[in-house]
Structures are given as structure tokens and as C-alpha cells.
Amino acid sequence: MAHPYRLYGVPHSLFTGIARSYLRTQSLPYIEVPTRDPAYAARIMPVTQRAIIPVLEAPDGEIVQDSLDIIDHFESQGVAYSAYPESPLQRILAIIIQYYGCQAMLPHAMHYRWSYRDRQEAFLGDAFASGSGADMAGKIMGRMNSYLPQLGVTEQTIPAIERSFEDLLDALNTHFADHPYLFGGRPSIGDFGLIGPMFAHLGRDPVPAGIMKTRAPKVFRWVERMMAPGLDTPEFPGYGTDFLPDDQIPETLEPLFQHIASDIFPMLTDKLAALDALIAEHNPPDGQPVAPKPHQRYVGLAKTQFRGIPVQVGIQPYMLYILRRADEALAESSEEQQARVRSELSARGLDAALPGNRGYSVDRRNQIEVWSRSS
């Protein structure tokens, strides 16, 4: 291709890692461009209205911001290996895993990157300088470091966050001994949600990567697989490239679902309740940006718990942008399928992960997250 896709991002970015993984596993031609490239300021920021990554620039000039939108951009055109299972239970569970990976694992990713900064300074300094230039690296690192409290990373929660990471590794290591991806022979949207933190932070930064390699080598191999061109599955000859048939859920995934349920609740329900209160108080019209400024991702704080430990965390409306897809998948199913899916979710303690009809949602229009009042 004379003019391949351009992916604006950096190797150490969680959300860039999601988009990069998708482009690679689909064997889509692209080049990755750092944000210090002059084209980013000249062509990208006037459209996105903020300094944000990842951003995809198509050969025809179309600009797509956000890893989920980049995936959906290609899914709508048809790809070799769709990331969305057609069967409802697999699809909805994959979306819940996606939410867990790119939202609920932000504390894990940021804790291991910044709480161990003294042991990783040379690696991190080199990474941030290569992406943003030496002059900006220190400022960006300091700003990222400052996000820990609003993510719920405190002296009290750190031991629980580290146990959570180890529990996750153990659950996934067992599964990836038998299956190349979460739901079969190709990566799902759940795999792409997990790969963000599991590659960019936890699979590259020296401290967590060392833990992953020694405690869960099958997980590290999955990380390699997710970042390779095509479907890199030599350990699974004859496995095939499809999702498992008949909406089947591998038994080896059940510990992962138990783990996710223990980690995301009650934090998710408390965040949703806080959003409900925000909407009731301000009653924003359809299309109003979720935050006063385009670069702001948080709209307040919620008092909640993580594994029984009291904590106060920031609220990102973006979580609704992800989880609404699970509601939509359920709504598109037959009544019989809906009853079965709800029963299966309830049995796994994940039924409350679907936001349901709250009278509002979050959409993206003109590259900005806005309130949607149509659902």
C-alpha cells in the first residue's frame, strides 16, 4: 500500500497497545508515528481537539480516535478475524472482560509503573523520551505519577492490588495452557481489552514483566501472541481460528470470571450510582460534552471499596461507552437467549456489569465524549 494507515501512539501507552495489537493480528498495513511528529500537531489535534492517543489516520484522511473506535472502524469494513463473537453469551462476557482490562485494571497498570519507579527509572525515562522527546518526558512522567490517588492506588490498597495481579496471572496461566485466546482460536474484544495493560505496562515494565514471566509464562506467551502478525499459535496445531461453537464457555475461564466479579464490585455499581446522581442534579441535554474541557476524563469521585478496602476513586463516563455494547448485544438477542444470558451472568456474579436502561448513556460525537439521552 502506497499510503498505509498511520497509528499515532507510543509503545508504553495502554490504549495504543490495544489498537496496535488489533492491527497486527489482522495483518493490516500501518506505520506507527509518535506524537512529536509534526503531522500530529498539524493534522490530528485540530480534529481531536486534545492531545490524546491512539489516533488512526486512514489513507483517505479519515481520523479515528480511541482504540475501541479504531477496532470498530475495521470491523465495519470486514476483517479476517472479527473480534466480536456472534453468540450472545460469549460476546457479552468478552465485553465485560474488555471493560475489566482497559478500565478496572488501570490501578494495576499504574501502580506497577509508578510505585516502583525507583527500580524502573532508566527504562521509563527512555520510553517517555522516545515518544515525547527528552524535554517533555519528565513533565509527562510526573503528571502520570500524580494520577495514582484518583485511581485508588493508596498505601492501604496496594497489597490488594498486587494480590489481584497475581490471582489474575494464575487464572489466565491455566486457561492459556489449553487455549490460544480467551474464547477459542482468535482474539476477541475481551483479549484486546486485556492486552492494553498486560502489554504496555505489565508486560514491558521491568518489575511486573518479571513477575509475569516467572509466575505465569503462558500469559507472557499470550502477550507475545497478541502482539505478533496474524494468529501466532504454533503451540496449538489444528486448533482452528474460530470462536468455540455453540456459545460455549471454556471451564478454564470460570476462575477468571470469579476474579473479575471480586475485583469490579462494588466499585462499578458505586460509580454508576454516582453518575446517576450527577445526571439527576445537572440534567445535561443530549450531546453535551461529559466534561467541561475535552481533555478531562473524570467527572467526580466516588466513595467505594476494592476487595473490602475503603477507597475514593475517579469516575470516567467512558466506562458506559464500553459496557453499553453489552446491553446492545443482549437487546439484539431473542427473549429465550436473553433469559439464558442473564441466568449465566447471574451465576457468575456479573449480572450487575450491564448498566441497563438508566435514561442516559455516553456517546462519541466529533471526537468528544458526550451525554446521550436517547437510552
- pLDDT tens per residue across span 231-240: 999 999 999 9
Contacts of 245 (CB under 8 A, 6+ apart): none
Residue 1 above 70 pLDDT?
A: no
Residue 119 above 90 pLDDT?
A: yes
Average pLDDT for 42-70: 95
Average pLDDT for 215-221: 98
Give the residue with greater pLDDT, 139 vs 363: 363
Residue 117: predicted pLDDT? 92
For residues 80 and 65, give the distance between their C-alpha atoms in angstroms, rounded to a whole number.
22
Residue 172: predicted pLDDT? 98
pLDDT category of residue 248 using cuts at 50, 70 and 90: very high
Of all residues in the chain, the percent with pLDDT exceeding 70 is 99
Residue 375: predicted pLDDT? 54
Helix (H, G, I), strand (E, B) or coil at 156: coil
Residue 132: predicted pLDDT? 73
Residue 134: predicted pLDDT? 78
For residues 295 and 264, give the distance between their C-alpha atoms in angstroms, rounded to a whole number.
25
Residue 128 above 90 pLDDT?
A: no
CB 173 within 8 A of CB 78: no
Q: How many CA atoms lie within 13 Å of 187's alpha carbon, on the beta-carbon side?
A: 30
Phi-psi group of 308: left, alpha or beta (phi > 0 → left; psi -120 to 50 → alpha; rest → beta): left
CB burial of 28-58 (b: ≥16 within 10 Å; e: otherwise) equals: bebebbebeeeebeebbeeebeeebbbbbbe
* Cis bond before residue 54 (omega within 30° of 0): yes
Q: If you search the block for the grid coordinates 437487546, which residue do you land on? A: 331
Average pLDDT for 279-293: 94
Q: Which amino acid is at 204?
A: R
Average pLDDT for 195-208: 98
Q: Which CATH number fits domain 5-75: 3.20.190.10, 3.90.110.10, 3.40.30.10, 3.90.79.10?
A: 3.40.30.10
Average pLDDT for 24-48: 95
For residues 230 and 226, give the distance between their C-alpha atoms in angstroms, rounded to a whole number.
9
- pLDDT tens per residue across span 91-102: 999 999 999 999
- pLDDT tens per residue across span 293-335: 888 889 999 999 999 999 999 999 999 999 999 999 999 999 9
Residue 2: predicted pLDDT? 58
**Which residues are paired to 364 by β-bridges?**
369
Q: What are the residue ranges spanned by the domains of the chain?
A: 5-75, 88-254, 267-372
Q: Which CATH architecture has domain 88-254?
A: Up-down Bundle (1.20)
Element (H, E) at 31: strand 30-33
Average pLDDT for 23-46: 95
Q: If you search the block for the grid coordinates 497486527, which residue do you land on? A: 24
The DSSP result for 174-212, as a single string, is HHTTT-SBTTBSS--HHHHHHHHHHHHTTTTSHHHHHHH
CB 351 within 8 A of CB 110: no
Same-fold call for 5-75 versus 88-254: no
Average pLDDT for 100-110: 97
The three grid cell numbers given for residue 193, joined into one nine-digit string: 481489552
Residue 310 dihedral angles phi and psi, to the nearest 5°: -60, 140
Average pLDDT for 60-71: 96
Residue 129: predicted pLDDT? 85
Q: What is the pTM of this model?
A: 0.96
